[in-house]
Amino acid sequence: MTLSHDRPAPPCAIVIFGANGDLTRRLIVPALYNLGQSGLLPPRLALIGVDHNDKNSEDWSAALHDFLEQSLAKGGEGALAKIKPEIWDPIARAMTFFKGDFTDDGMYARLGQLLAERDKNENLGGNVLFYMAVADRFFGIIAGKLGAAGLMQQGSGFRRLIVEKPFGHDLESAKQLNACLLQHMHEDQIYRIDHFLGKETVQNIMALRFANGLFEPIWNRDRIDHVQITVAESIGVEGRGRFYEQTGALRDMVPNHLFQLVAMTAMEPPVSFDAEDIRAKKAEMFKAVHPVTLTDVVRGQYDSGAIAGEPVPAYRKEPNVAPESGVETFVAMRILIDNWRWAGVPFYLRTGKRLAARATEIAIRFKRAPYALFRETPVEELDADWLILKVQPDEGIRLRFNAKRPGQVMALESVAMEFRYKDWFKQAPAVGYETLIYDCLIGDATLFQRADQVEAAWSVVEPVLKGWRNVNPRHFPNYAAGSEGPTAANDLLARDGRAWRRIR
């Protein structure tokens, strides 16, 4: 995450394992196109797609182009203002489809020969970025075979590897994956990607805190009562029942997405925007998290209900889901950070499927002012001191505070000052991966997780995973689709004298 994105990335070969997959079509290639529109793509580029299918380079390029056009027509996540030939054609010319089995040693030898040819022909300086857009079961296999084939050895140019989540399924598997990766490459070659950190509003948390003299002096236990972080989805598992049955909401969202939002909110100020300074502060924060017990966690599973007036099925009725599944689709959690800044300030986290609305926000509740002057005012009317960072949708920042209502009586009303990105900035088309891929190309690891950070995050939730293995959730399903989650999540805050903000 450079302070100024004003230069194209260096010449490079990008190798995408999983070239025919959904991630490549929906996010990676649209992000490369958008980088081309911004003038940030390498001036000399080779784009090599590796997959097991029978396909030539022209067919692969055409299929990706057609998907971009369909996205434009649907106004979907990969929507572009217009597919411009002057942007697309150089990308298409750079494309080579390479058929291969990820488990075949011979494939990596042939891939090495192709990279050498493309490097010589395109004058790429020996730079290669490998992208594992594949199922996580292939992460260790691909990393090991890249290392064994010598493809991660750096000479005059760089060799880097992008690893998508999940980074393991528990603490032990995360340690095993990190050990495998570090056996074949150095930590500074590994980019563990979390698309949440590609969102402008997430990156803006650091700007809000550290570029303004107003907020950081009150960003502590003396002024903040508690923090609520919500990642709510109105959609269900969307045909990914088989994946979700093996994962669940906790593994899918908490050690990565939610904990990254916690880290950006709670980390200590770094001495610079250098990647290692920032990542060290995040790792310190995770190590200060108090061990979580089962009494600090609520899990839920959605029943049938209605979303936007349309009936939707229960999780157990979704395709490829067991009829008596005990997998959670909702998690709420209370965590404490044992350091000087946050001691005694609870962070409440929640995430779930089929909730009342799609909303991701960080809500910071400041401590109330003394009531002596306003004894006649109802308590709920004084409950206004919130700083709300909206990550999606309607990205922006809202500050709620109390003001006097016009009239002859001293009566208070909650009012808001609001900043919205769309009102102030003209944003280029984006799918959320542009900054992350660009940072990989220029070698800026600020927005990526180190091995110790990944393991520290899994260490926080490991006791919960172990506890859940021994306790079958007999009360599932326990919240209706279209609601705000199970009632037990409300009790989690009520016992502290607090309440969740509405999901909207």
Over residues 163-199, the pLDDT tens digits come to: 988 898 999 999 999 999 999 999 999 999 888 787 7
What's the rounded mean pLDDT across residues 361-385?
Answer: 69
Per-residue pLDDT reduced to its tens digit, 424-483: 877 666 777 888 999 999 999 888 989 998 999 999 999 999 999 888 888 999 999 999
- Pair 302, 477: CB distance under 8 Å: yes
Per-residue pLDDT reduced to its tens digit, 310-328: 999 999 999 999 999 999 9
What's the rounded mean pLDDT across residues 254-260?
Answer: 91
- Pair 299, 468: CB distance under 8 Å: yes
Contacts 24+ apart (CB under 8 A), 309-313: 312/236, 312/354, 312/481, 312/482, 313/236
What mean pLDDT is reported for the chain? Answer: 88
CA angle 287, 292, 294 (to 5 degrees): 165
Provide the pLDDT confidence category of residue 384 given band limits of 50, 70 and 90: low
The pLDDT assigned to 471 comes to 84
User: Does 3.40.50.720 match the CATH number of domain 12-164?
Assistant: yes
* Residues 252-263: b if buried by 16+ CB within 10 A, e if exposed: bbbbbbbbbbbb
What are the extents of the domains in the chain? 12-164, 197-368+450-494
The pLDDT assigned to 66 comes to 82
The pLDDT assigned to 383 comes to 63
C-alpha to C-alpha distance for 410 and 403, rounded to whole angstroms: 10
The pLDDT assigned to 32 comes to 93
Per-residue pLDDT reduced to its tens digit, 27-43: 999 999 989 988 999 99
The pLDDT assigned to 229 comes to 97
- Pair 163, 132: CB distance under 8 Å: yes
Provide the pLDDT confidence category of residue 413 given band limits of 50, 70 and 90: low
C-alpha to C-alpha distance for 165 and 243, rounded to whole angstroms: 13
**290 included as an active-site residue:** no
The bridge status of strand 347-352 relative to strand 330-335 is antiparallel
The pLDDT assigned to 77 comes to 47
* Dihedral sign (CA 79, 84, 86, 88): positive
Q: Which of 202-206, 285-289, 389-393, 407-411 has the lowest mean pLDDT?
A: 407-411
What three-state secondary structure class fits 113?
Answer: helix
The pLDDT assigned to 3 comes to 46
Kindly report the length of the chain.
504
The pLDDT assigned to 409 comes to 66
C-alpha to C-alpha distance for 114 and 46, rounded to whole angstroms: 10
Q: Residue 411: pLDDT above 70?
A: no
**Fold for the domain defined by 197-368+450-494:** Dihydrodipicolinate Reductase; domain 2 (3.30.360)
Provide the pLDDT confidence category of residue 102 given band limits of 50, 70 and 90: very high
* Catalytic residue, candidates 65, 257, 290, 475: 257
